[in-house]
């Protein structure tokens, strides 16, 4: 059975649970801070704890696939279980894998994360358009068919991103603007929210020169440890702020492994973000 479109499910989750995405980023230093070994057992304990603490209360959980992949097949098995348990508890899962390729290879990546029969089936997938936006066509088609979504890298917060995303095309638009325009076209007529979102860094400052009104979600990393605060969101995203999905990882995860402390931190961020959005 095809799911209700991702954009509609995301809008409802954000309205009911608050607009917050918490990353699941079990890198070595964070495992160590939690008193866990940097091995599969530590990975599993970390992931289960985050799901237990968060999946019944936050709108979105975002596992970073790389931190599971580094343990090979055993790590992927933990990722499969993490996705399954998070979705069963009510959170939407955005798989942060940033896949990008062409043709049948792009189709294979899409099937790995967006096909309903895949063990890694997620509600949405992060993808890279830098082999040309058209290279994402297989993932777009499968997302439409399966009721899932995509978050396309558009204006990222890493300093290296500018050399590609700010490059100016022959038509005078830069690459980031072009990606946003493609996404707006994908989401035309969708209600209450389209399923094809952009990744736009919350640390980028004033983005008023960009048209962020893509009728889709804006996944915004950078809140917390990277320096942005919930109060910054209206100034960065302007009138599109209600469609922003702020991502917090270390700002919440540093409070683990205590489940109560993790919950308190997530609830605080969600409330601060909601207040900032409502006041905009």
Active site residues: 98
In the three-class reduction of DSSP (H, G, I as helix; E, B as strand; rest coil), residue 75 is classed as helix
The Cα 278–Cα 266 span in angstroms is 18
Strands 149-155 and 196-200: parallel
Helix pair 40-54, 72-88: axis angle to 10 deg: 10
Contact 153, 131 (CB under 8 A): no
Place of tokens 């991103």: 161
Compute φ and ψ for 95, nearest 5 degrees: -80, 120
Give the number of other CB atoms < 10 A from CB of residue 263. Answer: 18
In the three-class reduction of DSSP (H, G, I as helix; E, B as strand; rest coil), residue 36 is classed as coil
Is 150 exposed, middle or buried, given 0-12, 13-18 or 19+ CB atoms closer than 10 A? buried
């Amino acid at each position: 059975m095809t799911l209700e479109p991702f954009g509609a499910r995301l809008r409802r989750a954000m309205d009911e649970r608050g607009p917050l995405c918490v990353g699941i980023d079990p890198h070595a230093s964070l495992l160590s801070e939690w008193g866990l070994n940097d091995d599969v057992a530590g990975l599993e304990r970390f992931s289960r704890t985050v799901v237990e603490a968060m999946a019944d209360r936050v709108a979105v959980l975002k596992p970073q696939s790389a931190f599971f992949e580094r343990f090979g097949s055993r790590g992927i098995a933990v990722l499969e279980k993490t996705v399954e348990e998070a979705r069963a508890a009510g959170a939407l899962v955005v798989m942060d894998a940033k896949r990008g390729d062409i043709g049948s290879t792009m189709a294979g990546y899409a099937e790995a994360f967006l096909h309903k029969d895949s063990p890694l089936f997620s509600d949405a997938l992060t993808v890279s358009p830098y082999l040309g936006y058209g290279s994402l066509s297989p993932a777009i088609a499968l997302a439409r068919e399966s009721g899932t979504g995509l978050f396309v890298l558009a204006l990222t917060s890493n300093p290296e991103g500018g050399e590609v995303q700010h490059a100016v095309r022959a038509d005078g638009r830069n690459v980031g603007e072009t990606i946003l325009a493609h996404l707006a076209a994908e989401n035309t007529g969708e209600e209450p929210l389209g399923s094809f979102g952009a990744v736009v860094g919350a640390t980028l400052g004033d983005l008023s020169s960009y048209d962020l009104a893509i009728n889709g979600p804006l996944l915004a990393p950078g809140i917390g440890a990277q320096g942005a605060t919930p109060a910054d969101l209206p100034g960065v995203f302007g009138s599109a702020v209600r469609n922003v999905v702020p991502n917090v990882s270390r700002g919440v995860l540093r409070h683990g492994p205590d489940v109560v402390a993790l919950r308190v931190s997530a609830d605080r961020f969600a409330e601060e973000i909601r207040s900032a959005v409502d006041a905009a």
